[in-house]
Amino acid sequence: MTAKPEAFIALNRFGLGAAYGDLDRVAGDPSGWLTDQLGRPVRLPAELADLGPGSDHARDLVNAIQDKSVLKERFRKEARALYLKEVGQRTLAAIHSKTPLIERLTHFWSNHFTVSISGKPVVAVLVGAFEREAIRPHVTGRFHDMLRAVVGHPAMLIYLDNATSVGPNSRGGRARDKGLNENLARELLELHTLGVDGGYSQADVQEFAKILTGWSVGRPKSDDAGRFRFHRIIHEPGDKTLLGKRYRGRHGRRGGGARRSRPPSRHRPPRRHEIRAPLHRRSAAAHRGRSPGARVP
């Protein structure tokens, strides 16, 4: 049987290539093969089921950061070994997957919401859990839900330093002379949602960073070490204005203004090209003989 070109495109551009028998199986309805995958419940591949929850790895990480003994070096070696194991199991999951489109989407969104060990090697222990817990469950769902999961995950909070961002006028900031960290706020606006020319200003970055103060993790050696926690003592008090919307300065134990404020995607949804263009480039580039600008059928 000679497969239609559409089957090659479906398997190579939207999947991960053809395994034995795939061309014949997909040729009858390439489009249906793809839409069927999108309609299935997203389940964690068996290859990733025994790698442990991110909360355990985050606890070990924050405890190790404070450790000044030889145990810290041992943790680094164990973190590296876990990272390599995660990479291997992730590769096996992709090879064995019956839903390669889901794997491809998972890889795309993990790259979009990057948590990289090249920028911060200590997060090696968390990058696998980040993908399993914040990305995979939402790849066929709402962008808003994935964004919430990403921002609140310990891997992202530690990677972009929001875990140590302190409102300068908060009780903790005044006592310790600590300051604001804009990394997470800037990445959310510039890369994750609105785009570099998305109409926000430096003042919006600063206001968003203030809103996100207190979004952190449990302190070392505590019962909730490494888990997401809102620390009221370091949350910047007062009203904030983000993208033209004013948020009152009330805050409680479960997230302050950031819990009540809408993420940037709800203020001003990401323009289609901000998400569609990288998806297009990623899928088209995998299809030999077509330029990244070629039309996706």
pLDDT value of residue 277: 56
What would the DSSP string read from start to end of 149-178?
Answer: HHHTSHHHHHHTTGGG---TTSHHHHHHT-
Please report, in angstroms and rounded to a whole number, the separation of the first and last CA atoms in the chain: 23
In Å, how far are 3, 147, 177, 234, 261 from 163, measured between CA atoms? 52, 17, 16, 10, 19
Q: What is the pLDDT of residue 215?
A: 97
How distant, in Å, are the alpha carbons of 7, 109, 296 from that of 287?
Answer: 12, 19, 10
User: What is the spatial distance between Cα 151 and Cα 113, in angstroms, rounded to a whole number?
Assistant: 9
pLDDT at 119: 77
Supply the pTM of this predicted model: 0.84
The pLDDT value recorded for residue 296 is 38
Segment 247-262 mean pLDDT: 58
pLDDT in tens, 124-147: 999 999 999 999 999 999 999 999
DSSP state of 124: G
Cα angle: 119, vertex 159, 206; to 5 degrees: 110
Paired strand residues for 217 = 228
What contacts 24+ positions apart, CB below 8 Å, involve 87-95?
87/128, 89/47, 89/48, 89/51, 89/128, 90/47, 90/48, 90/128, 90/131, 92/47, 93/45, 93/46, 93/47, 93/48, 94/16, 95/16
Residue % of the chain over a pLDDT of 70:
81
172-226 pLDDT tens trace? 998 887 789 999 999 999 999 999 889 999 999 999 999 999 999 999 888 899 8
Sign of the dihedral through C-alpha 279, 86, 137, 9: positive
